[in-house]
Amino acid sequence: MKDAAPQPVHLQEYAPPAYLVDDVHLTFRLDPKATRVSARIAFRPNPAAQDRTFFLHGEELTLVSARIDGQDVTPKITPQGLTCAVPDAPFTWEAEVDISPEANTALEGLYISNGMYCTQCEAEGFRKISYYPDRPDVMAPFTVRIEGDAPALLSNGNPADSGAGWAEWHDPWPKPAYLFALVAGDLRAVSEGFTTASGRPVELNVWVRPGDEGRAGYALDALKRSMRWDESAYGREYDLDVFNIVAVDDFNMGAMENKGLNIFNSKYVLASPETATDRDFDLIEGIVAHEYFHNWTGNRITCRDWFQLCLKEGLTVFRDQQFSGDMRSHAVKRIEDVLQLRARQFREDNGPLAHPVRPESYVEINNFYTATVYEKGAEVIGMLRRLVGPEGYRKALDLYFDRHDGDAATIEDWLKVFEDVTGRDLTQFRRWYSQAGTPRLKVAEDYADGRYTLHLEQHTPPTPGQPEKAPQVIPVAVGLLNPNGDEVVPTTLLEMTEAKQSFSFEGLAAKPVPSLLRGFSAPVILERETSAEERAFLLAHDTDAFNKWEAGRQLAREVLAKMTTEDAAPGPAYLDALAAVARDDTLDPAFRALALRLPSEDDLAQALANSGITPDPWEIHAAREKLKAAVARHLAEQWPALYREMACPGPYTPSASDAGRRALRLTALGYLSRLDTGDEARRLYAEAGNMTETIGALSTLLEIGRGEEEIEAFYARWSADRLVMDKWFALQTSLAPPQRAAATARALTEHPDFDWKTPNRFRAVIGGLSANAAGFHDPSGASYELVADWLIRLDDVNPQTAARMSTAFETLGRYDASRQARMRAALERIAAKPGLSRDMGEMVGRILG
């Protein structure tokens, strides 16, 4: 019999918890098959609650005993938890349960990864460890005793006591259960001391498996820089005696901010020049910072309920973006962040999975750790900061920390501090949290008698459940340039609040060229018809680095769109503008690399769909290949020189400046290889001194349909290294030519090293195929079928990761009838699987609409 459809949870239905927790004591007797978890919890009735039902969440637990104030009780147990009669006064609850970490393949709760015990509790995993009110607004100090024969026995807070085969931890900071963590295994610490601004000594440890000690240094260094930065940028200090980071191989997400014991996907901790690319180093720095920053934005101040997820995630992403900008280049970081935003969030926001930054209902909260909550959530904070200015922002944040430390807060609380500090009414601004969809901003202009007027019109297309949208507050940063290239009006912030609004600038001697939405001042799609010449002019003259890049990108999109739909040849405006960028050595190499790269195939599909054209992924692929060849030929003389000049002398360092040079060098190599059939890339592969160059050379070869020998050589060299092998798998599926992508991926799923239960490996192969736009959209439907087969298979084992990857199908509505029918058939096949998880059921249901 089919289970009844799982019921959604609604924001509107929030009710305070019936009981609060004053204290938690947990004892773990570790055993792979039967770990005994004993809990002693001090409860008290919540005076703020109406309801007096005593309910504890609990799933997949075997209850051994339960007592209230020392007396045995017999609770009523359901698959979701238990209820029990309790006194109308504070009481002590004691319970013992057995759980099986070994059988836990979903990687939620307590599980075993490569022989080591570890936990993942966000969002609702603690209920698989102990009976508990598993909701973020119940906060308590935890004391944890671990018994087990492992060299490292770790939990949250400060070490309290230890002996042979046991250790105790005490976390004085009240926290919700989702921040609980435990790790036990054969781990080694790479350690360093740190002294906070006010003089508190802190021991920093990165725990890795024996043999990986040499790959922990960069994460440790990033941690120290993050701690220092949060002190100076936000006045936030660390608040425990130790800070532990653990690397685990099996992890559903990137990393987790458990109080004092961050757990990371090993891919975002371990790095050496030989095994990690510049991009890996960059990600490690950003993710270490992100998790560390959660200590204040997430842990000290947490979320009242999961609808408020963006309260901690949007803010923490915003903070890690600021940090990375400070560590590297703000311009380059902004461009990279917007590339990500468009690739993931705009895509989501313009399809069946669109939802507000603060969703109003969900079936499975794990499905809402999305680009919208994270990345658009961060953009919303960036807009707030732009509107109130950096000083207003800092004051508001000071008040936020002051007023809400120790709270489980809401978006209303968050906006209120801005209102109180700045006196601004944020009623309309709140729509950024409640309305889904990417606003379109239409721009028209006129000029007469020295007066230049911009006419702006906003419109947000309907999204699921939201047919009509009200106008939003859109901060539009604008600068004006003279026809000779000088800036006549420096960056000015226009505050658009109406559906239609005009803004004028007086006293201009000639009709200016506008540079609109500087720094990408709002997450909107700008709709403005203009000439290729004007875009090329901005690419050459704009003083705003983001818009300089954006002009080139728009130009490239338009060229590609024409090549795709009309089979046109690329015009000189674009090719000459690119040549100028390639030659301009006053520009940061990292910026030049970004400007010389073409928009992705999915970006172009998105752009075509937005302008009402049905994209054909194979035609897009072919056009993009043609454009690459044309750019390669147009600048044939420059590539070898650029390639040579950008070599980094001396030993590898992951610094932003060296990474920028390598990025430009590899971009040059990419074009060069379209002229020399890959000779230079083969040479680089043979001589490469670091993984960035190795991967750069190998991907270049794969992109031109070569590299077979190198793929074999790479395997022979790195087959024992899991993280490096993930790259090997992912490169082959994501860069396979469209006609061969499905077959390549299928062959790799038969490879003995395809450990599909390890999320990183599954994502490398199946995620790699989904990321290969033309390959995934093979008109035969072969890739849809293969991805569906594997999602069905993974759903039984790890529903969270499987459901997340179903987003490969979220672009369904964009494509032609034949592709749509095949995508639908694949999705319906998933939907029909007996025993489909709630996670996957919700995702597939939303995509099918």
Residue whose tokens read 């075509």: 608
* 286-315: contacts with ligand PHE (CB under 6 A): 290-291, 313
Cβ 5 to ligand PHE shortest distance, Å: 24
Tokens of 126: 């603690």
Cβ closer to Zn ion: 316 or 732?
316
41-49, 118-126, 520-528, 687-695 -> range binding ligand PHE (CB under 6 A): 118-126
Residue whose tokens read 């559903």: 252
Selecting among 291, 348, 558, 842, the annotated active-site residue is 291
Cβ closer to ligand PHE: 255 or 843?
255
DSSP per residue, 98-113: EE-GGG--S-SEEEEE
Residues 338/344/349/354 CA torsion (nearest 10 deg): -150
255 binds, among ligand PHE, Zn ion, none (CB under 5 to 8 A by kind): ligand PHE
**Pairwise CA distance, residues 216 & 641, whole Å:** 36
**Pairwise CA distance, residues 192 & 580, whole Å:** 47
120-128, 532-540, 654-662, 779-787 -> range binding ligand PHE (CB under 6 A): 120-128
Cβ closer to Zn ion: 294 or 674?
294
**8 A C-beta contact, residue 254 and residue 291:** no
Tokens of 678: 């890959």
Cβ 298 to Zn ion shortest distance, Å: 7
477 binds, among Zn ion, ligand PHE, none (CB under 5 to 8 A by kind): none
253 binds, among Zn ion, ligand PHE, none (CB under 5 to 8 A by kind): ligand PHE
Q: Which residues form the interface with Zn ion (CB under 5 A)?
A: 313, 316
**Pairwise CA distance, residues 605 & 510, whole Å:** 37
C-alpha triplet 227, 231, 237: angle, nearest 5° = 75
* Cα–Cα nearest to 261, from 142, 355, 94: 142
Of 171, 257, 364, 601, the residue at the interface with ligand PHE (CB under 6 A) is: 257
Beta strand 487-496 with 474-481 is antiparallel
Residue whose tokens read 């095949």: 822
* Cα–Cα nearest to 481, from 542, 527, 536, 531: 542
At 96, phi and psi to the nearest 5? -120, 135
Cβ 720 to Zn ion shortest distance, Å: 32
Cβ closer to Zn ion: 317 or 397?
317
**Site membership for ligand PHE, residue 255 (CB under 6 A):** yes
Residue 457: CB atoms within 10 Å:
17
Cβ closer to Zn ion: 297 or 783?
297
249 binds, among ligand PHE, Zn ion, none (CB under 5 to 8 A by kind): none
Query: Total number of residues binding ligand PHE (CB under 6 A)?
Result: 11
551 binds, among Zn ion, ligand PHE, none (CB under 5 to 8 A by kind): none
Cβ 263 to ligand PHE shortest distance, Å: 8
Of 59, 96, 122, 375, the residue at the interface with ligand PHE (CB under 6 A) is: 122
Cβ 191 to ligand PHE shortest distance, Å: 23
387 binds, among ligand PHE, Zn ion, none (CB under 5 to 8 A by kind): none
Of 104, 113, 120, 770, the residue at the interface with ligand PHE (CB under 6 A) is: 120
**Pairwise CA distance, residues 725 & 537, whole Å:** 44
What residue number has its CB nearest to ligand PHE?
253
**Pairwise CA distance, residues 202 & 240, whole Å:** 7
* Cα–Cα nearest to 241, from 189, 187, 170: 170
Cβ 292 to ligand PHE shortest distance, Å: 10
User: Which residues, in sequence order, are bridge partners of residue 119?
Assistant: 110
**Pairwise CA distance, residues 125 & 129, whole Å:** 7
* 398-457: contacts with ligand PHE (CB under 6 A): none
CB neighbour burial string for 517-550, b if at least 16 within 10 angstroms, e if fewer: bbbbbbbbbbebebebebbbbbbbbbebbbbbbb
Tokens of 711: 């793929």
248 binds, among ligand PHE, Zn ion, none (CB under 5 to 8 A by kind): none
Cβ 726 to ligand PHE shortest distance, Å: 19
Instruction: Give the 3-state secondary structure of residue 806.
Output: helix
**Site membership for ligand PHE, residue 364 (CB under 6 A):** no
Cβ 175 to ligand PHE shortest distance, Å: 13
Cβ closer to Zn ion: 257 or 710?
257
What stretches of 704-849 show up as alpha helix (H) in DSSP? 708-718, 722-735, 741-749, 759-762, 768-771, 773-776, 782-797, 799-805, 817-831, 838-848
Cβ closer to Zn ion: 316 or 734?
316
* 49-88: contacts with ligand PHE (CB under 6 A): none
All residues at 6 or more sequence positions from 687 whose CB lies less than 8 Å from its CB, including other chains:
none
Residue 552: CB atoms within 10 Å:
26
Cβ closer to Zn ion: 108 or 313?
313
Burial class (CB in 10 A: 0-12, 13-18, 19+), 50: exposed
383 binds, among Zn ion, ligand PHE, none (CB under 5 to 8 A by kind): none
Cβ closer to ligand PHE: 289 or 582?
289
Cβ 145 to Zn ion shortest distance, Å: 29
**Site membership for ligand PHE, residue 354 (CB under 6 A):** no
**Site membership for ligand PHE, residue 369 (CB under 6 A):** yes
Cβ 834 to ligand PHE shortest distance, Å: 27
81-89, 141-149, 249-257, 801-809 -> range binding ligand PHE (CB under 6 A): 249-257
Radius of gyration of the chain, Cα coordinates, nearest whole angstrom: 27
Residue 59 annotated in active site: no
Cβ closer to Zn ion: 254 or 461?
254
**Site membership for ligand PHE, residue 256 (CB under 6 A):** yes
CA 225 from chain center: how many Å? 21
Which of the residues are catalytic? 291
List contacts with ligand PHE (CB under 6 A).
120, 122-123, 253, 255-257, 290-291, 313, 369
